[in-house]
Amino acid sequence: MGTQSNYAGIDVSQATLDIAEHTTGRQWSFSNDDTGITAAVAALLDLKPALVVLEATGGIEVPVVTEMVAAKLPVVVVNPRQIRDFARATGRLAKTDALDAQVIAHFAAAVQPELRPLPNAQEQELSAVLARRRQLQEMLTMEKNRVRVARRPVRDRIETHVEWLNKELASTKHDLEHCVRESPVWREKDDLLRSCKGIGPATSCVLIGDLPELGGLNRKQISALVGVAPLNRDSGTLRGKRTIWGGRAHVRTALYMATLAAIRYNFPIRSFYQRLVAAGKPKKVAIVACMRKLLTTLNVMLRNHVRWTCPIPQITGPCS
């Protein structure tokens, strides 16, 4: 029925799965439940697409993606921002579920994003715990800010909630450690990562769960994936400032905090930072450069299965 030139896009919502095929413009709509997912997968198997593309939708897409992977369909989950930018570039400003599916199918045919291994059940579990940890941290920050200005009756209730959030956060930390201990591969990665000064258990879990590509890409690819690679902003004779943009924000945040610790206690990173500042680089630029250097160092460590070593005596004082 189909050919290898077929490209399909799926717009996933809470209630429905809207599927569009780029070549002929055919469309289908199925309910987003077990019955609808089974029917959608059957329709895609009949279509024999070269590629199926979906947007990441905060986890709503996981059941249908899991079934498509089990059916050996070539599926890619992409950042919604890419689809929005593509829609604007092609003049598709109207928005419905059916139109969104057409745009995604067009994106699949035009861009043909690279197939990457999708996370297995164990990786999805770790990612879910990491996401919950971030949510708890955000709620804890908001509640602590509120308690400063709250009046007595409300303040007591907020303080009770803060206490509960702290307990949940501690429980989540235990869950993360349990997930890592359960996997021999993750235990090895955790041991290698935490041998590098600046990388603690929380950062290690983020790198393992949210950056599984670490150790499998070259330095330019891993830097671009995280979003610490400087991007050109040139036009004609104008030479704009190089800036970082995009990438995985959660990983970048964890890497930033680890880099601040590394600047204090990791001699190669500290020396690199001091050289950049001494050469006149703004401190923020120097920190981003150190983030990139730390990330590429960790990438090589995992790729070659070697622990971090440094011949320089341990630093115990802060960077001046």
Beta carbons within 8 Å of 151's beta carbon, 6+ residues apart: none
Three-class SS of 201-263 = HHHHHHHHHHCCCCCCCCHHHHHHHHCCCCECCEECCEECCCECCCCCHHHHHHHHHHHHHHH
Nearest-CA neighbor of 259 among 316, 320, 198? Answer: 198
**pLDDT of 154 over the 80 cut:** yes
Nearest to 177 by CA among 133, 135, 121: 133
Among the ranges given (74-88, 111-125, 135-149, 205-219), the one the predictor scored with the smallest mean pLDDT: 111-125
The tens digit of pLDDT for each residue in 183-198 reads 888 999 999 999 999 9
Local structure of residue 78 (DSSP, 8 states): E
Of 241, 248, 190, the residue nearest 223 (C-alpha) = 248
Domain ranges (residues) in the chain: 7-111, 120-182, 184-320
CA distance 297 to 294: 5
Average pLDDT over residues 285-314: 87
pLDDT digits (tens, 9 = 90+) for 80-110: 888 998 998 888 877 888 899 999 999 999 9
C-alpha 33/C-alpha 143 separation (Å) is 36
Q: Please state the rounded mean pLDDT for residues 44-49.
A: 91
Does the pLDDT value for residue 293 go beyond 60? yes
Q: Please give the angle made by the CA atoms of 111, 113 and 114, to the nearest 5 degrees.
A: 145
Give pLDDT, residue 317.
53
- Both tokens of residue 286? 């120097």
Report the pLDDT value the prediction gives residue 139, as an integer from 0 to 100.
95
d(CA 54, CA 52): 7
Q: Please tell me the number of Cα atoms within 13 Å of 163 on its side-chain side.
A: 6
Q: Dihedral through CA 56, CA 58, CA 60, CA 62, nearest 10?
A: 60
Q: For residue range 198-252, list pLDDT tens digits in order.
A: 999 999 999 998 898 899 889 998 998 898 877 555 445 445 455 655 678 889 9
Per the prediction, the chain carries an average pLDDT of: 87
Q: Which CATH superfamily is domain 7-111 in?
A: ATPase, nucleotide binding domain (3.30.420.40)
pTM, entire model: 0.70
